[in-house]
Structure 1
Amino acid sequence: MRSLFSCLFLILFFNVFAQESAKPEIKPIVKIDSLYREDQFYFSVTYNMFTDLPDKFKQNKFSLGLSGGFLRDMPINKSRTIAIAAGLGLSYQNYYQNLTISKDPAGAPVYAVNNYGEFVSNRYRQYSVELPIEFRWRNSTFESYKFWRVYLGMKFSYAFSNTSLLDDGENKYRINNNPDINKFQYGPYLSAGYNTWNIYVYYGLNPLFDSSTTLLTGEKLNLKTLNAGLIFYIL
């Protein structure tokens, strides 16, 4: 009798164990956001150049540009691969070149293009608030943050601070918030790439200086900015 009960117990034990082992795995339900947005923080690093150069104008050293801000994404198609975005940011632009800005006896700015041997150092820098508005194409999905993108936009900037520094070997000139600088600046830009790394190019449509600004030679100063580098997007 004892042997019979032992056999029955073993049969029941293995039967229950087999049933427990055969239970299907219950996976957690993952909620998929099919109405996702590509709201992003951006950060760019650029090499700053000029176009529409006056005679004998040259740049030296590395003219650095930095900008960063936030963009709000607004998809306009069902698959959310096309969107419009608007944002707000800050930028710092630094230029080394041989366009010198000194002062006349009355304190007014004087502009000239000098050879590099005629001064010790010369630079211009500005700080701006920027408003980018862009048209976006990307092949993103709600399942992946890695995708190809092409963003074409227009950037409007307000230069709230600018400074030019000149050391000609005899005198040092520092001009803050030069009234001849166009405070409102604007131009198109393009960013394209994959995932975090993207190339970036911006071209200023209006001159850096007011249209009435002239050099000592009488030539109109019509410099326009051209920035090229990398832009990074962070979700």
Structure 2
Amino acid sequence: MKFLIKIFILFSFFSVFAQDIKKDSVVVKVDSLYREDQFYFNFSYGNLQKIPKDLNQIKFSPAISVGFLRDFPLNKNRTFALAIGLGYAATTYNHNLYQYKSVDVSGNETREYEILSEDIFYQKNKQSLHYLEIPFEIRWRNSTFASHKFWRIYTGFKVSYLFFDKYKFVNDIQTIVIKNNPDFNKLHYGCYISAGWTTWNAYVYYGLNSIFKSAKIDGQDIKMNTLNIGLQFYIL
């Protein structure tokens, strides 16, 4: 009889243990449907490309971007995915490209551009650009539902809409402010890649079209685009 009681207790234990495993397996099945929906933030250096002769960037030209990305996994392990998002981006360029307004013989206001020589003193000469952006990403990561520590390579294409811009020049004689300059391209687009471990990711963006639409120096079009290099952070 004691032997039978022991056998009964043993089978009861295994039965409870099996039920726990079954419950855990159900949890795994549900939790495995996770998405990498994320807020993102990046901080980078805006390096102007295809610049006119004698144009130089002065000091540091910071760029920031912040927004949200919706994740759409493509495979069972959810290691491959697409993502689309919405965000805000701002870049400030400190350079020696001088801007001012002039009026032609017909009374139409235009904007003129010159390169400031080194012997001209000024306290400030900067251009600020503010965009709404829509990033589209192709994603690879070796993450699991149980851990947010993983390697990732996210590459994508970004379309940005310029909704506000401001140029400011300051020296001892005058202060010039130009807002919403129509010479800028309203739509800007480019490719980027973000790769790294967990929160820390290297970030590179290359603009495919010019920042300016119709600006000229000495009759030559200004066709500058931008290369941004920095860090991108993803936060669940």
TM range (shorter): 0.7 to 0.9
Alignment of 1:137-156 (within 5 A): 137-156=140-159
Counterpart code for 1:131: I
Q: Does 1:161 align with 2:156?
A: no
State the superposition RMSD in angstroms.
1.9
Distance 1:209 1:118, change over 3 A: same
* Partners of 2:225 and 2:50 in 1: CA distance: 6
Q: Deviations over 1:35-79 (max 9, x none)?
A: 111110001111111100110111111111111110000011121
Task: Count how many residue pairs are aligned between Structure 1 and Structure 2.
Answer: 212
Contact 1:119 1:167 in 2 (8 A): no
* Partners of 1:233 and 1:148 in 2: CA distance: 12
Question: Structure 2: 5+ residue runs without aligned partners?
Answer: 1-8
Q: Does 1:101 align with 2:121?
A: no
Alignment of 1:81-100 (within 5 A): 81-100=79-98
Query: Which residue pairs with 1:202 in the alignment?
Result: 205
* Partners of 2:132 and 2:89 in 1: CA distance: 6
Q: Using structure 1 for the length normalisation, give the TM-score.
A: 0.85
* Partners of 1:66 and 1:35 in 2: CA distance: 32
Any idea what SS the aligned residue of 2:216 has? coil
Alignment of 1:4-19 (within 5 A): none
* Partners of 1:104 and 1:116 in 2: CA distance: 24
Q: Does 1:125 align with 2:128?
A: yes
* Partners of 1:47 and 1:109 in 2: CA distance: 27
Contact 1:153 1:190 in 2 (8 A): yes
Contact 1:191 1:231 in 2 (8 A): yes
Any idea what SS the aligned residue of 1:60 has? coil
Counterpart code for 1:57: L
Identity %: 45
Q: Using structure 2 for the length normalisation, give the TM-score.
A: 0.84
2:47 to 18, 29, 49: 49
- How far residue 170 of structure 1 moved from its aligned partner, in angstroms, is 2.7
Q: Deviations over 1:172-200 (max 9, x none)?
A: 21100000010110000010000000011
* Partners of 2:119 and 2:208 in 1: CA distance: 32
4+ residue segments displaced more than 4 Å: 23-30
* Partners of 2:120 and 2:135 in 1: CA distance: 39
Q: Which is richer in strand?
A: 2
Any idea what SS the aligned residue of 1:118 has? coil
* Partners of 1:220 and 1:166 in 2: CA distance: 22
Alignment of 1:1-80 (within 5 A): 31-32=27-28, 33-80=31-78
Counterpart code for 1:185: H
Alignment of 1:190-229 (within 5 A): 190-210=193-213, 212-215=214-217, 217-229=218-230
Query: Which residue pairs with 1:176 in the alignment?
Result: 179
Counterpart code for 1:229: G
- How far residue 119 of structure 1 moved from its aligned partner, in angstroms, is 4.0
Q: Deviations over 1:119-173 (max 9, x none)?
A: 4120000111000001001111112111000011000000100001112543221
Any idea what SS the aligned residue of 2:220 has? coil
Counterpart code for 1:227: N
